Chains A and B, each alone.
Chain A
Amino acid sequence: MKLQHHLGGLENLGPVNLDTRVFAQPWEQRIFGIHTAMMAESAHLDNALPRYAIKALPTTFRSNWTWASLRTGAEGMQPFEYFKFRYYEKWLGGISQFFIDAGYITAQELAEKTALYRSEPDSPLPHRPNAALDAQIDAYLQQGDSPRHSNQQAARLKPGQRVRIADPEAVDHTRLPGYLRNKTGTVDLIYPDHYAYFVSTGVDGIGEPMPVYRIAFEAADIWGPGKSEANTTIYADLFDAYVAAVA
């Protein structure tokens, strides 16, 4: 069991953080912007809905970079580290390491450049505008990257049907919240069409287009009677691979 897959329901964490800021420090905006620019020029968009002319884009970036990349990195962190670092600190660590591992930069280059900006924080960034990439960033942000694929096949499950949630082997990445594994819920809605995921999660089971169900869980069915708040329902959108009909 991987902690990051099982955050939902973890107890004894103390009071919630009430910080309504989006960015706790100005530098966090820059790593958010880098990540989002990478998503906008990700090689996979060449084959996305809508199709983007990524191969024609004047960029040296030729990798796939999606939410799955960032999430897989966060889920792979040692749990103490995951809790230690603030949200965008995790992004900065993960994205820097990706660029080193993929050979775009070296660790030494990054260390040297970091030392330079430490001693001269106001030293300017290089000036190399890329209007075509700016246009692609705007296009991606405005048109998105929908996982929806048209499919008229009748779904295997029916609204109102009782279902049991699967418990696949925990691999690098999942979209199945851990607290719902092996729990019983009710199909609330079957979304029209099928939905892909950015990557195949292997034995976890998602990636190719498949139905997605909105499943309703009574809190007592998840946490146990007497161990949950009254009159509370939890809804989760779950891919077909995660849902089994109760015999």
Chain B
Amino acid sequence: MNGIFSYSDDRETSSAAKVRALEALLIEKGVIGSDSVDTVLRHFETVAGPFNGAKIVARAWVDPAYKARLIEDTPAAIAELDLPAGMTGAEGEHMAAVANSADVHNLIICTLCSCYPWPVLGLPPYWYKDPVFRARGVREPRAVLSEFGVTVPETKAVKVWDSSAQIRWFVVPERPANTEGMSEEALAALVTPESMMGVALVAAPQA
């Protein structure tokens, strides 16, 4: 992560052995079962993940009335879609969507930890958990966005959403040009987790 600290040469093998030892001891002592960790991880492959968020965004792009409902009452609008059971589950008990537009660019952050809307986005990527993003995202969001390759002109408002209580935020990015007539499924395939946190735009499909 940073060159100014010294790390042992076997940093990763040491952690790998320690976490396996911890899991083994917890299983032996009946704290967890031998399938508990895999049960957790399976949830993030089958139930909760950015594949849900992408479907929500694609629906919002093709149906402006749905998009309005999504911003007004996010859980109710999510419940309209045919998504896996659990969209109000862990770290999604209270989610809220904000929409990018010609006038507004939204950025999601958690300066105190790493709050993230699990059901619709899955687990947070490293950039989001990194102290540098968390420190700079609220102080110089436009500079941070430009490091991600997103230039926001001063005429466009930047709104930064710091997740410090119950709400878990996500962004409905702008629909890219040249996507008229594309199916919802094809549109969903364009949507990245980064675009739903506000550090990327959705790229137009390659011609």
A residues neighboring B (CB under 8 Å): 4-5, 7-11, 13-22, 24-27, 29-34, 36-41, 58-61, 67, 70-71, 74, 80, 82-84, 86-87, 89, 92, 95-96, 99, 104-105, 109-110, 113-118, 121, 125-131, 133-134, 137-138, 140-148, 174-177, 179, 191, 195, 212, 214, 222-223, 228-239
Q: How far apart sit A13 and B194, CA to CA, in the bound complex (Å)?
A: 22
- Residues of chain B within 8 A of A231, CB atoms compared: 154-158
Q: List 22 A-B contacts (CB under 8 A).
A: A8-B111, A8-B112, A10-B135, A16-B148, A17-B127, A19-B130, A20-B193, A20-B194, A27-B20, A33-B37, A33-B40, A39-B90, A60-B30, A60-B31, A99-B26, A113-B22, A121-B20, A134-B39, A137-B40, A175-B165, A191-B166, A238-B165
* Min CB gap A85→B, angstroms: 8
Since A99-B25, A118-B14, A129-B33 are in contact, a sample of 13 more A-B pairs with Cβ atoms closer than 8 Å, ordered by chain A residue number, is A10-B139, A27-B15, A27-B20, A30-B23, A39-B90, A86-B1, A92-B18, A99-B22, A130-B32, A133-B36, A138-B39, A138-B43, A177-B111
Q: Which of B1, B24, B28, B30 contacts A117 (CB 8 A)?
A: B24
Q: Is the CB of B89 within 8 A of A144?
A: yes
Q: Considering the complex of A and B, which 9 residue pairs feature the smallest CB-CB distances, nearest first?
A: A130-B33, A33-B37, A142-B86, A8-B111, A113-B21, A237-B165, A10-B135, A27-B16, A19-B126
Q: Is the CB of B35 within 8 A of A141?
A: no
* Min CB gap A78→B, angstroms: 13
Stretch from B52-60, B91-99, B171-179, B183-191 that touches the partner: B91-99
Q: How far apart sit A174 and B132, CA to CA, in the bound complex (Å)?
A: 20
Q: Which of B28, B32, B90 contacts A59 (CB 8 A)?
A: B32
Q: Is the CB of B36 within 8 A of A37?
A: yes
Q: Is the CB of A87 within 8 A of B129?
A: yes
Given known contacts A11-B139, A14-B132, A128-B27, is B166 in contact with A237 (CB within 8 Å)? yes
Q: Is the CB of A8 within 8 A of B159?
A: no
Q: How far apart sit A233 and B163, CA to CA, in the bound complex (Å)?
A: 14
- Interface residues of chain A: helix, strand, loop or mixed (majority): mixed
Q: How many B residues have CB within 8 A of the partner chain?
A: 89
Q: Is the CB of B92 within 8 A of A13?
A: no
Q: Is the CB of A71 within 8 A of B112?
A: yes
Q: How far apart sit A41 and B144, CA to CA, in the bound complex (Å)?
A: 39
Q: How far apart sit A138 and B41, CA to CA, in the bound complex (Å)?
A: 11
Flag B122-161 by CB within 8 Å of A: 1 or 0 each: 1111110111111111111111100110000011111111
B residues neighboring A (CB under 8 Å): 1-2, 5, 12-41, 43, 47-48, 85-86, 88-94, 111-114, 122-127, 129-144, 147-148, 154-167, 193-194
Q: Which of B25, B48, B135 contacts A9 (CB 8 A)?
A: B135
* Min CB gap A146→B, angstroms: 4
Q: Which of B17, B29, B48, B159 contacts A235 (CB 8 A)?
A: B159
